Structure 1
Amino acid sequence: MKFVIAKNGLILSLFAVITSGLIALTYFGTQEKIEHQHQLTLLKILDELVPRNSYTNEMQRDCVLVTSVDYLGSKTAHHIYRATKDDLPVAAVIETTAPNGYSGRIELVVGIKDQSTVTGVRVLNHKETPGLGDKIDLRISDWVLGFTDQTLTTENAKNWSVKKDGGQFDQFTGATITPRAVVGAVKRAVEYYQLNHDAIFSASNECRSQSAIQG
């Protein structure tokens, strides 16, 4: 009887070891695929916001981590991806948060060149109302393309708001809170870039072996 119990225990132990091994292999295999997909998503977004032929470094592997509640919307560290050509600054793509969306936080990225020109904006994650606030998503409408090539200066800062507030950006019928939140977040991201441009490009690289943007 003891022999049978010991035998069954050994079989169960072996089964547990084999099962754990298979789970571990599956996990690491899945993680590798997820990481690969993140890299592809990151490259796609960066290519949309900063033409690849305009810089010579590996932008997706060249970034700094920064935290600014006032300018980037949360206590979470945000990545700033840097584009350089022959070690000279070309552009940056800044992760930022609009904390005041209608249904909560809106995560987005802002491409910027020449200190004040927006190369593009993409919304990464949001919970805005379908059919109303979700028009900030490029898959739903082209509203977000309205930021491309816009500049922010002291003279035109008052125009960086929705038309309902006297600015230049369209709001959505029945949904002003969402676009207002995004416009404000983009404006603050540009302001952060203007204030910290030199520090951003002189800081040590914190992104050699990781990707952060997830679509």
Structure 2
Amino acid sequence: MSEAARESLRAGAQLALAALLATALLAGTHLLTRGRIAESELRSQREALQIVLPPASHDNDPVTDAVTVQAPAWLGQASARVHRARLRGQHSALVLELTAPDGYAGPIRLLMAVDREGRVLGVRVTGHQETPGLGDDIEAGRSDWITRFTGRSLQDPPAPRWAVRRDGGDFDQFSGATVTPRAVVAAVRRGLEFVARHGDALRTAEAGATLSLQTAPDAAPP
């Protein structure tokens, strides 16, 4: 074998060894960091749930006690998570991921907790693209508007008044921005109706299950 051929083989072997070492290093790094990443994601989810779900309302881990729901007509997105809260073994609340698809500047993502009596425990905006200084008053850090859903139910106010005041309802709109609060009010109402109609199925499904609930809400209140 010529010297040139031996050099070529040696270079090829070195490249193969370098590639093998790099692959092993990447695999090792992934194994070492995978647990930390998962822990960080779980911690972030728990912190988000704590904002809408009072600590005294549960003694389980709602992050892991959850189901995936395919109910786009109700929840405004193709697939969403519903977390279940339990207290002393009894179901105490559901936490829904919702999307108001008809925000002024695009979809508005929400997190809403509802107790066993159908009352709102809390609602928060988790993502939006609304105009700063106008539609972003839906954020808890900008105003207390979003907190006014707390304690409300489908009976308080009655169905026709689940709307902004400009539409004859009980909820304030923002000066110069009616579309955004209108979209959020409608999404919260749909979420409450969804729990009223499908709450039993959500509570009794196995953790980790996927439920397909392809019914649709009734017409919106006039």
Task: Settle same-fold status: TM greater than 0.5.
Answer: yes
Q: How many Å apart are 1:19 and its aligned residue?
A: 2.2
What is aligned with 1:185?
187
**TM-score, normalization by structure 1:** 0.86
* Cα deviation, residue 54, structure 1: 2.4
- 2:20 — aligned with what? 17
Match of 1:55 in 2: 58
What residue in structure 2 maps to residue 41 of structure 1?
44
Aligned partners of 2:52 and 2:111 also within 8 Å: no
- Helix, strand or coil at the partner of 1:61: coil
TM-score by length of 2: 0.84
Q: Aligned partners of 1:173, 1:9: CA distance in 2, in Å?
A: 70
In structure 1, the partner of 2:10 is 7
User: Aligned partners of 2:203, 2:41: CA distance in 1, in Å?
Assistant: 24
Cross-structure match for 2:97: 95
Paired residue for 2:219?
none
Native 8 Å contact 2:157 2:170 kept in 1: no
Q: RMSD over aligned Cα, in angstroms?
A: 2.0
> Helix, strand or coil for the counterpart of 2:172?
coil
1:212 aligned residue: none
**What is aligned with 2:218?**
none
Q: Which runs of 5+ in 1 are unaligned?
A: 208-215
Report how far residue 48 of structure 1 moved: 2.1
Secondary structure, aligned partner of 1:100: coil
1:41-190 alignment, distance < 5 Å? 41-74=44-77, 76-153=78-155, 156-190=158-192
Alpha-carbon distance in 2 for matches of 1:179, 1:64: 28
Q: 2:100 and 2:56 mapped to 1: Cα distance?
A: 30
CA apart distance, 1:57: 2.1
Tell which deviates more after alignment, 186-195 or 140-149.
140-149
Structure 2: gaps of 5 or more residues: 210-222
* Distance (whole Å) between structure 2 residues aligned to residue 162 and residue 28 of structure 1: 51
Structure 1 residues 99, 7: CA separation in 2 closer, same or farther (over 3 Å shift)? same
Work out the CA distance in 2 between the residues paired with 1:72 and 1:193: 11
SS at match of 1:46: helix
Deviation at 1:187, TM superposition (A): 0.7
Moved more, 57-66 or 26-35: 26-35
Partner deviation per Cα, 1:27-86 (whole Å, 9 max, x = no partner)? 455544432222112111222222223223222211122122221112x22111111223
- Structure with higher Rg: it is 2
Q: 1:77 to 1:18 in 2, by over 3 A?
A: same
Which residue of structure 2 aligns with residue 210 of structure 1?
Answer: none
Aligned to 2:220: none
Q: Quote the residue 1:213 is aligned against.
A: none
**What residue identity is the alignment partner of 2:17?**
L
Aligned with 2:79: secondary structure? Answer: strand
Alpha-carbon distance in structure 1 between the residues aligned to 2:23 and 2:165: 58
- For the residues of structure 1 that align with 2:195 and 2:148, how far apart are their CA atoms? 20
Task: Name the amino acid aligned to 1:80.
Answer: V
